[in-house]
Structure formats: C-alpha cells, structure tokens
Amino acid sequence: MAFKHKKDVSVSIPTSSMPDIVFMLIFFFMASSVMRQYSGLPVIMPKAKQIEKLTSKVHVTQLWISKEEMISLDGKLMNVNSIRNILYEKRVKDPQLIISIRADERVNMSLMSQVHKELRLADALKVNYSTKTAI
C-alpha cells in the first residue's frame, strides 16, 4: 500500500485579528506602566521666604545630597571626589550649565563645603539652590 504525498500544501496564517491583538497589547502596556516622577535622593528641602524659579531646564544638572551624605548627580550615586571630573566634562560640552543643588536641610556643613570646593575646581560657578516656599 503506497501513500501519496501532497506536493502543493499551502499554509496560511490568518491575520485578520492581528490589529486587535496589537491594540490590546499596546493598551495593556500603557495602562500597566508607571512613570518615574524624579530620580533623586529623598531629601527634606530647606524653606525660603523668597524664591525664583528657573526659566529653562535645558542647561540644568541636578545634584542631590541626602542627610546620609549620599550624593547623586543626574540620578547616579557617586562620592565627593568624582564630582569634579564629571562636572568638568559637562561644562566643556555645555558652557551654560547650571548646577541645581537639592540638599537636605540636615546635611553636615563640612560635606557642603567639600561639594563647593569640587564645584569651584570644576569651574562650575553657576549654582542654584532648590528650596520650598515658607508658609
């Protein structure tokens, strides 16, 4: 008994429901994703009676300093000694760079003094201190 082999076998994948599946996947990922609010350290901002808001955030670098003496520059943790090299490279690329310091109100002044020294050595002299308004 001999079997005949089919030579003209056509295999087709139905694609009529493909747009529905793609739309459901896009909707699911949009609904389940979470947007990050900020990438800094948890700090309690000092209060000020008069504040001035920065007009543009194009040339701004965020420097976070927590009460545990953790330093974050644009979302990356680092020590005090590495601030100089990184900010010097950023200043070379962008001469209009402004460093926005967001320090906890309980930060030790010796750490702030070290940060200021590193900023001066990196020639980053445009510094902004972020605060909250005093009520």
Predicted local distance difference test score (pLDDT) of residue 118:
93
CATH code of 59's domain: 3.30.420.270
**Type of residue found at 42:** P
Extract the runs of DSSP E, i.e. beta strands, from 32-124.
Answer: 47-48, 60-65, 71-73, 76-78, 98-103
Q: Specify if 62 maps to a domain.
A: yes
Buried-state track 56-83, b at ≥16 Cβ within 10 A, e below 16: eeeebbbbbbbbeeebbbeeeeeeeeeb
Q: Specify if 112 maps to a domain.
A: yes
Predicted local distance difference test score (pLDDT) of residue 52:
74
Mean pLDDT of 30-45: 75
Q: How many domains does the chain have?
A: 1
Burial-class residue 99 by CB neighbours within 10 Å (0-12, 13-18, 19+).
buried
Q: Specify if 75 maps to a domain.
A: yes
Using alpha carbons, list the distances in angstroms from residue 119 to 17, 77, 85, 94, 111: 59, 17, 10, 15, 12
CA-CA-CA-CA dihedral for 59, 117, 111, 131, to nearest 10: -40
Q: Specify if 41 maps to a domain.
A: no
End-to-end CA distance of the chain: 96
Q: Specify if 51 maps to a domain.
A: yes
Helix (H, G, I), strand (E, B) or coil at 11: coil
Domain coverage including residue 113: 47-133
Tens digits of per-residue pLDDT, 89-120? 999 999 999 999 988 888 888 999 999 999 99
Q: Specify if 11 maps to a domain.
A: no
Q: Specify if 30 maps to a domain.
A: no
> What number of helices (H) and strands (E) belong to the chain?
3, 7
Is residue 39 predicted with pLDDT exceeding 70?
no
Q: Specify if 123 maps to a domain.
A: yes
Nearest one of 105, 109, 118, 114 to 66, comparing CA atoms: 105
